[in-house]
Amino acid sequence: MRLIIRSTCLLLLLFVSFSVFAEKVIILNLRGPIGPAAQDYVERGIAYAKKENAALIILELNTPGGLDSSMRGINTAIIASPIPVVAYVSPAGAHAASAGVFILYASHLAAMAPGTNTGAASPISLTGSAQTSSSIEEKKATNDAAAYIRSLAELRNRNANWAESAVRQASSLSAQEAKQLKVIDVIADNYPDLIKKIQNDKTLINGILQPIQLSHIQFESMPTDWRYDFLSLITNPTIIYLLILLTIYGIFFELSNPGLVLPGVCGVIALFLTLYALQLIPISYAGLALIIIGTLFMVVELTISSFGIIGVGGLISFLLGSILLFDTHEEAYHLSWLFISAMGILTFAFMSLIVHLAIAAHRKSVLSGREGLIGQRGYVLSIVHQQITVRVAGEIWAAQSIHPLQVDQQIKVSAVEGLTLIIEPVHSIAKSGE
């Protein structure tokens, strides 16, 4: 029994000692398109690793690319990190394309798992095809990207020529080829294998060349949380587009039918969410203006007769604005033609319905106030010295009439002058209509 107790205490002591003296390795998983959510996640991950006094950060990559602004934000955080960051393209079948190549080059050390690939970092045109145009804007974007990745390659002492070819010619490499061309540092099957192979490798951390020396390792994964999910949702181009339409629908519906409250509340909430999302990703304000102008033109077409000219112009403006809304070359942040067309038709149908309801409401007879009394029927209560008193709509009124009347006779209100009703007998109206 004593032997069991001693063994248990020894194991607990070893466990506590290992927990205290073990060097933490924080694992960040970066999967899917690179956007504001990914940038925020990596920045918080590096801050957390610094707080925990971690010895290493493993940034597991599997991405088709993403926004240039978010990629540069991630790279800035990596370069400034006091803790070495290892970009690791994993698992087998994963790839680091477009923005992923830049992150791979910015990291202190670069690794890939067998069966992975990297490359194709050239700017993408609005149609999603590889850049072939010779326009000044596209040349500037390509030259800027090439200069940026070459500077990263020189910082990390990696193959700068291939890096530039990945930008200019969309070159790609397998893991083995990347190792041979000195694009990456190691090929590793898993995390322990990665730690083993980068042991004693030297890397530049805040201007000082430092070796990677790890003994007792404790891996800790930092999963994505609600904040990441929220930012991913709010910066999704489809969601942003729907929020813009919801803002237009809600505010327009509230202005057309004052007092409903709910559409206005939904419109204002959508407006603030839209403004928050639009400051996180690059958009074209010309495209946003075209959407708003197009919507207004469709409303004008429904209220005045222009034989469809203004309406067609508004629909074209709406569609063009939707296409130009997101000012980025990344295909993942563009809306599909089918979705844009469906939203254009839906918007036109919605505006038609609202304007139709508004016009119908204005054409209805007034049911309250003075105007609401005209046409109402009642009967004579009394006639005293030519002062007529009648009951109309459950109330007693003073009345005048050019027709002879009798008590209890049915009458109809033809006009209202101040607090006096101008009335006519019902039988005389019927006779005059014969």
* Residue 284 CB contacts under 8 Å (≥ 6 apart), including other chains: 324, 325, 326, 327
Give 124 or 326, the one with higher predicted confidence: 326
CATH number at residue 380: 2.40.50.140
- Same domain? For 240 and 163 the reply is no
Q: Which residue range(s) make up the domain with 354? A: 236-363
User: What gap in Å lies between CA 174 and CA 188, rounded to an integer?
Assistant: 13
Domain boundary among 338, 363, 388: 363
- Same domain? For 150 and 259 the reply is no
- Same domain? For 415 and 328 the reply is no
Rounded to 5 degrees, φ, ψ at 406 are -130, 155
Q: Is residue 411 part of a domain?
A: yes
**Amino acid 126: pLDDT:** 32
Q: Is residue 347 part of a domain?
A: yes
CATH number at residue 88: 3.90.226.10
- Same domain? For 178 and 59 the reply is yes
Please work out, in degrees rounded to the nearest 5, the angle formed at the alpha carbon of residue 370 by the alpha carbons of 368 and 374: 90
**Amino acid 365: pLDDT:** 54
- Same domain? For 248 and 275 the reply is yes
Q: Is residue 231 part of a domain?
A: no
Compute the average pLDDT of residues 90-94: 93
Q: Is the pLDDT of residue 434 over 80?
A: no
What's the chain's average pLDDT? Answer: 81
Compute the average pLDDT of residues 31-48: 93
- Same domain? For 219 and 320 the reply is no
**Amino acid 202: pLDDT:** 84
Please work out, in degrees rounded to the nearest 5, the angle formed at the alpha carbon of residue 25 by the alpha carbons of 20 and 28: 140
Q: Range with the lowest mean pLDDT among 127-131, 207-211, 236-240?
A: 127-131
- Same domain? For 106 and 218 the reply is yes
Q: Is the pLDDT of residue 13 over 80?
A: no
- Same domain? For 337 and 373 the reply is no
Q: Is residue 71 part of a domain?
A: yes
Q: Range with the lowest mean pLDDT among 113-127, 190-204, 322-336, 362-376?
A: 362-376
Compute the average pLDDT of residues 98-114: 94
Q: What is the percent of the chain where pLDDT is above 90?
A: 33
- Same domain? For 267 and 408 the reply is no
Could you tell me the pTM of the whole model?
Answer: 0.70
Q: Is residue 6 part of a domain?
A: no
Q: Is the pLDDT of residue 400 over 80?
A: yes
Q: Is the pLDDT of residue 72 over 50?
A: yes
- Same domain? For 178 and 124 the reply is yes
308: left (phi over 0), alpha (psi -120 to 50) or beta: left
Q: Is residue 153 part of a domain?
A: yes
| Strand partners of residue 205 | 208
**Amino acid 22: pLDDT:** 67
Count of domains forming the chain:
3
User: What gap in Å lies between CA 82 and CA 418, rounded to an integer?
Assistant: 84
Compute the average pLDDT of residues 172-184: 93
- Same domain? For 337 and 425 the reply is no
Q: Is residue 180 part of a domain?
A: yes
- Same domain? For 40 and 87 the reply is yes
